[in-house]
């Protein structure tokens, strides 16, 4: 322990951002333990390190008393006065008891403490960096896979992507590049744990920010996202700029922008629709691609009854109720869908209507009335495009634009 050691400490302080006083105090505390371990645990000592020269002193501490009851922790007033005539009962006498070979022990102990503190500091820096990055998108490399949990190399640390945070059908191999959403950052004894997700709605939002400059600069705002990862996502977008079509901006020329997002999501279907503060217009929009005849709302309960043409019922509900379920999540309203015949005529004579409504009174976990249906019927609202010459996608009457698989719906 010398001035070179102190110089090395100063270098570490600058490089790692560790407080010099905190580091020196940690070394002093460790040296006390090392002294007691090697020279007797009953010793009442403290260690002092010179901040400039690096000299280490072990000092015995004893209380000045009238009568000594413990010779290791107390000293009589008479002995204390021989050391310094200014001592009084109640004072503490300190004198040096540094062993001759203590320098070697001190150096070994200091090294261990410094290494430990550096690790702790680096972990702390990583945690501080990533705790502020929750909700961001990262790109990493698959480092290893264990029991379906993917560990992602993020440069200076490792991210954890568990099986439940990946959509079904997503498979990766070691050294594959992967994008993910920073969902949570936690401290642990082994350092910070960074949990990633590819199923979180925020993941889709960040992908659109990458592809759509209007979203990144705030011209277009994503007001709400409802997602069933691996299957379908609905997004409601809004802008105050009258010269900007929010849906068209997200779709891009020939569907180029949304197609890039769909490719990253392995073909997941995406519906993009316009947000509106009027709940009736909003509900019409979010149920797209189905046509809506009428929307009756209960503002207090935030419930809506939606009437659709008989031939649009299957499309409005969607397969296994997916379309209406996502629509309800997107707008925050409970939605009860009825066909024109049921709502206006009470007509259940048709055999198809009876099949559709036989379980209609059952609610799912989102508070939406629906029945399981086969695939939604294809209507004129669906426009197929080829890879060579994709058709232009436009928004009509607040309908959503959907991209996924091999089709885009206006």
| Percent of the chain whose predicted confidence (pLDDT) is above 90 | 43
| Structure confidence at residue 179 as a pLDDT band (50, 70, 90) | very high
The CA distance from 361 to 368, in Å, is 10
pLDDT higher than 60, residue 203: yes
**Which of 97-111, 217-231, 270-284 shows the lowest per-residue confidence on average (mean pLDDT)?**
97-111
Instruction: Render pLDDT for 65-105 as a digit per residue (tens, 0 to 9).
Output: 888 887 778 888 888 888 888 888 888 888 777 777 777 77
Alpha helices in 132-222 (DSSP H): 201-211, 213-216
Q: What is the pLDDT of residue 393?
A: 37
| Structure confidence at residue 241 as a pLDDT band (50, 70, 90) | very high
Q: Mean pLDDT for the chain? A: 79
pLDDT higher than 80, residue 210: yes
Query: Encoding tokens for residue 286?
Result: 């979010």
The CA distance from 290 to 408, in Å, is 14
Query: Encoding tokens for residue 19?
Result: 């407080």
The CA distance from 233 to 228, in Å, is 6
Q: Which residues of 362-384 are buried (b: 16+ CB within 10 A; e: fewer)?
A: eeeeeebbbbebeebeeeebebe
Is the distance from CB of 273 to CB of 281 less than 8 angstroms? no
Report pTM. 0.64
Q: What is the mean pLDDT of residues 258-287?
A: 94
Q: What is the dihedral of CA 378, 383, 389, 395, to 10 degrees?
A: -160
200 phi and psi angles, rounded to 5 deg: -65, 140
CA neighbor of 201 nearest in space, from 145, 254, 268, 288: 268
| Structure confidence at residue 371 as a pLDDT band (50, 70, 90) | very low
Question: Which letter does DSSP use for residue 42 in this model?
Answer: T
Q: What is the pLDDT of residue 50?
A: 82
| Structure confidence at residue 391 as a pLDDT band (50, 70, 90) | very low
Instruction: Render pLDDT for 331-357 as a digit per residue (tens, 0 to 9).
Output: 999 999 999 888 887 654 443 343 333
Contacts of 40 (CB under 8 A, 6+ apart): none
pLDDT higher than 70, residue 165: yes
Q: What is the pLDDT of residue 273?
A: 94
pLDDT higher than 50, residue 394: no
| Structure confidence at residue 64 as a pLDDT band (50, 70, 90) | confident
| Structure confidence at residue 42 as a pLDDT band (50, 70, 90) | low
Instruction: Render pLDDT for 278-288 as a digit per residue (tens, 0 to 9).
Output: 999 999 999 98
The CA distance from 291 to 281, in Å, is 12
Q: What's the alpha-carbon Rg for the chain, to the nearest Å?
A: 35
Instruction: Render pLDDT for 94-147 as a digit per residue (tens, 0 to 9).
Output: 877 777 777 777 778 877 877 887 787 778 878 888 888 899 999 999 999 998
Q: What is the mean pLDDT of residues 391-407?
A: 39
Number of H helices, E strands in the chain: 13, 18
């Amino acid at each position: 322990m010398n001035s070179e050691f102190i110089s090395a400490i100063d270098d570490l302080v600058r490089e790692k951002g560790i407080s010099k006083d905190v580091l020196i105090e940690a070394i002093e505390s460790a040296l006390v333990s090392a002294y007691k371990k090697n020279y007797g645990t009953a010793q009442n000592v403290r260690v002092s390190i010179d901040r400039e020269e690096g000299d280490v002193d072990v000092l015995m501490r004893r209380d000045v008393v009238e009568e000594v009851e413990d010779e290791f922790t107390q000293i009589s007033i008479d002995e204390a006065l021989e050391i310094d005539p200014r001592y009084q009962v109640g004072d503490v006498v300190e004198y040096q008891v540094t062993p001759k070979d203590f320098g070697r022990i001190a150096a070994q102990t200091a090294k261990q403490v410094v290494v430990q503190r550096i690790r702790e500091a680096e972990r702390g820096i990583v945690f501080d960096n990533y705790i502020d990055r929750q909700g961001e998108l990262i790109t990493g490399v698959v480092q290893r896979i264990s029991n379906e949990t993917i560990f992602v190399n993020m440069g200076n640390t490792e991210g954890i992507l568990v099986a439940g945070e990946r959509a079904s059908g997503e498979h990766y191999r070691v050294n594959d590049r992967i994008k993910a959403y920073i969902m949570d950052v936690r401290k642990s004894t082994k350092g910070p744990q960074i949990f990633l997700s590819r199923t979180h709605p925020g993941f889709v939002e960040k992908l659109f920010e990458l592809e759509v400059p209007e979203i990144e600069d705030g011209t277009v705002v994503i007001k709400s996202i409802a997602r069933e990862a691996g299957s379908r996502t609905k997004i409601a977008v809004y802008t105050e700029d009258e010269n900007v079509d929010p849906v068209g901006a997200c779709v891009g020329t020939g569907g180029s922008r949304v197609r890039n997002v769909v490719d990253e999501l392995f073909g997941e279907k995406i519906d993009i629709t316009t947000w509106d503060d009027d709940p009736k217009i909003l509900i019409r929009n979010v149920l797209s691609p189905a046509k809506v005849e009428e929307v009756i709302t209960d503002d207090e309960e935030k419930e809506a009854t939606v009437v659709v043409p008989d031939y649009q019922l299957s499309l409005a509900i969607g397969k296994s109720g997916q379309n209406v379920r996502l629509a309800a999540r997107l707008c925050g309203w409970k939605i009860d869908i009825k066909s024109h015949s049921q709502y206006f005529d009470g007509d259940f004579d048709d055999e198809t209507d009876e099949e559709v409504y036989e379980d209609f009174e059952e609610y799912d976990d989102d508070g939406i009335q629906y029945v399981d249906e086969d695939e939604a019927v294809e209507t004129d609202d669906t426009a197929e495009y080829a890879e060579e010459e994709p058709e232009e996608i436009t928004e009509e009457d607040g309908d959503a634009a959907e991209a996924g698989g091999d089709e885009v719906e206006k």
